[in-house]
Amino acid sequence: MNIIDEVKAGLPADADVSDIAFEGSEIVVYVKNPETFTANGTFIRALVSKLKKRIEIRPDPSITKDMEEVRETIKKAIPEAAGLEEITFEPAFSRVTIEALKPGLVIGKGGELLRKIKSDTHWATVVKRAPAIQSDVVATIRKVLFKESEFRRKFLNDIGKRIHTADKKEIDWVRLTALGAFREVGRSCMQISTPNSRVIMDCGVKPSTKPEYPYLQIPEFDIRALDAVIISHSHLDHVGFMPYLYEYGYEGPVYSTSPTRDLMTLLCLDYVDIGEREGGGSPYTTRAVEKAIKHSITLEYGEVSDITPDMRVTLQNAGHMLGSALVHLHVGEGLHNIVYTGDYNFERSKLSEPTFTDFQRIETLITESTYGAANAIQPSRVDAERKLIDKVMATLKRGGKVLIPSFAVERAQEMMIVLATQKDFNYPVYLDGMLWDATAIHTTYPEYMSRELQYKIFHQGENPFLSPIFKRVGSATERKEVINSTEPCVVIATSGMLVGGPSVEYLKHFAEDEKNTLLFVSYQAEGTLGAKIQRGWKEIPLEEKGKRVLVKVNMEVDVIDGFSGHSDRNQLLSYIHRLRDRPKRVICVHGEESRCLDLAHAIHKNFRIETLVPRNLETVRLV
């Protein structure tokens, strides 16, 4: 019996089924009997546990009630305190999405309110959190998905058919092809292939004045034969090249967590924008980014999803940044398990829990090696936080201003939480550059943050991101006001390495006053202004109204290590030690060559595991 017939056999006789369809890895049953739809059917639980598939019952469009009427019913049913923001219909899925600031109050105790809405309206309901800070990116993505719902239904049907009904060949090999970030950092990309499927994990750029991209021109890579793309997290060196695939004919899905989808949209759009502004151009257009959104499928941590006829993916928390994930690929029925770590931090930070370790089985672990060298040890987070607060307070108390150059995503939000949760901290913190948009996306997904933060937000009603100390700098005029003000304050601004952007504007005006402090909290790449100042330059050439000027650096300059989103050498080793299942083979990637080799050597010595350090373009046979 095929799977569709098995589902049919498990449904109540009076369900009045109008359609059974695959939607991605899920099976959706459309019924005309409203009672089957609204009933808390035990038959569903029985089917799910028998077939090991997600099954959803939706109403046939003929029984859904009038949309305007339903809108009123929902508005009346939901308590004022829920903060209802938006009600959107997707007739193609017989689905209505309710966006509210407090989704819990829409769902009600034990799901009671939501059940009532379902039975009063005969619509499938989804509840989403509205960002506490208005986010244009989140709004745009949700709009694209709603606008394209007809397309999405067909797209998901096609993927489902391919997963469930394709003729499966026997899997007598599994291979990994190194397409980028092997013995280097940047342009992360690898292909995993079997006789039935081809999947790539990450597709990044190596940003520099002459950017480098993954090796997609080789015969082993065929864009038309690609089944799926999986993105570990939203940094450009992991996702910056992904939209290119959609510019050149890829029409399959891109899997990631929801925060990764949203942050990657923000960062890739900015990447296109910078390319155009600075004349270098970019390898794809904003249209490609929009196409990627249209083809996106999001997964929660721990959600198991079939993605090809012989591969199943699960994403788990990596602790590196909001939404960052380890990718677990299960190949065949118990044949081979791969874990690709992406970037990960095996230490609790204010923002995230440490990396997930509880995998049932791993045969091949593909680990990052950024801090793989024997001497790459970082100070602890607690020490770093204490040093940050000490430096900030000393500056503010002497009447100075603190400038923290930061990337828009992750480090900036980490700094915000450290300051906002500091007792009695009452100075203004100005946020300038794209980091405001990134923060807005953060407020959409508290479920992806550390337990401590979630406790604060959900149980104490205190969201550090909404603290009154934070002020957005939204224009050149507002920037001037901050620069001219005599009040002590903190400024967090992009770019993180002082290469253009508002951070350089602040530096120009803050540098000569010795009361002020410049704090480096992230890595400064060779050749950047940040690296030069770190090395002790006391006079820096800058531009002012088109003219070159020399600015004296009299302000205090400090470097605070320990905020890295990566695991240091000790944490990399202790991560492998703590994994529930000891991998049979470890492949070291994403690190300078010597660091990858060094880490591989240490892993082999400590754990007696086979280690490999492939070069770009090599293929390794895993099975």
- CB-based contact 247:299 (threshold 8 Å): no
Rounded distance between C-alpha atoms, residue 281 and residue 226, angstroms: 27
DSSP annotation string for 195-246: SS-EEEE----B-SSS-B---TTSTT--GGG--EEE-S--SHHHHTTHHHHH
What is the nearest approach in angstroms of Zn ion to the Cβ of residue 237? 7
Cβ distance to Zn ion smaller for residue 82 or 203 = 203
Which segments of 511-555 are extended strands (E)? 517-520, 539-544, 547-552
How many Cβ atoms sit within 10 Å of the Cβ of residue 348? 15
The alpha carbons of the chain give a radius of gyration, in whole angstroms, of: 26
Minimum CB–partner distance for residue 238 and Zn ion (Å): 6
Reduced to 3 states, what is the DSSP secondary structure of residue 514?
coil
Q: By C-beta, is 129 or 235 nearer to Zn ion?
A: 235
End-to-end CA distance of the chain: 31
Strand order in the sheet with 26-31: 17-23, 26-31, 55-59
Nearer to Zn ion by Cβ, of 237 and 290: the residue is 237
Tokens for 9, please give them. Answer: 């056999």
How near is the Cβ of 591 to Zn ion at its closest, in Å? 12
Tell me phi and psi for residue 505, to 5 degrees: -60, -45
Task: Give least dist CB 202 to Zn ion, A.
Answer: 10
d(CA 562, CA 422): 18
CA 491 to each of CA 209, 328, 431, 553, 571: distance values in angstroms, whole numbers, following the listed order: 28, 39, 6, 17, 32
Scanning the structure block, which residue is given the tokens 């077939």?
Answer: 51
Is the CB of 235 or the CB of 261 nearer to Zn ion? 235
Work out how close the CB of 234 gets to Zn ion at its nearest, in angstroms, rounded to a whole number: 8
Cβ proximity to Zn ion: between 41 and 211 the closer is: 211
Separation of alpha carbons 22 and 10, rounded Å: 16
In the bound complex, what is the minimum distance in angstroms from residue 158's beta carbon to Zn ion? 32
Q: What is the C-alpha separation between 414 and 223, in angstroms, rounded? A: 38
> Closest approach of Cβ 110 to Zn ion, in Å?
39
Of 235 and 295, the one with the shorter C-beta distance to Zn ion is 235
> Which token pair is 485?
């003000």
Report, in Å, the least distance between residue 186 CB and Zn ion. 10
Specify the 3-state DSSP secondary structure of 90.
strand
Q: How far is the CB of 235 from Zn ion (least distance, A)?
A: 4
Q: Supply φ then ψ for residue 514, to 5 degrees.
A: -70, -10
Task: Using the minimum distance from each CB to Zn ion, give the nearer residue, 234 or 395.
Answer: 234
Burial of 154 from C-beta contacts in 10 A (0-12 / 13-18 / 19+): exposed
Q: Which is nearer to Zn ion, 64 or 522 (CB)?
A: 522
Shortest reach from residue 208's CB to Zn ion, in Å: 16
Nearest residue (CB) to Zn ion, 202 versus 432? 202
- Angle, CA of 400, 403 and 408, to the nearest 5°: 155
Nearer to Zn ion, 260 or 314 (CB): 260
Residue 62 vs 208, nearer CB to Zn ion? 208
CB 581 within 8 A of CB 361: yes
Residues that bind Zn ion (CB under 5 A): 235, 343
- Which residue type does 159 have? I
Find the helix packing angle between 112-121 and 67-77, rounded to 10°. 160
Minimum CB separation from Zn ion for residue 386, in Å?
25
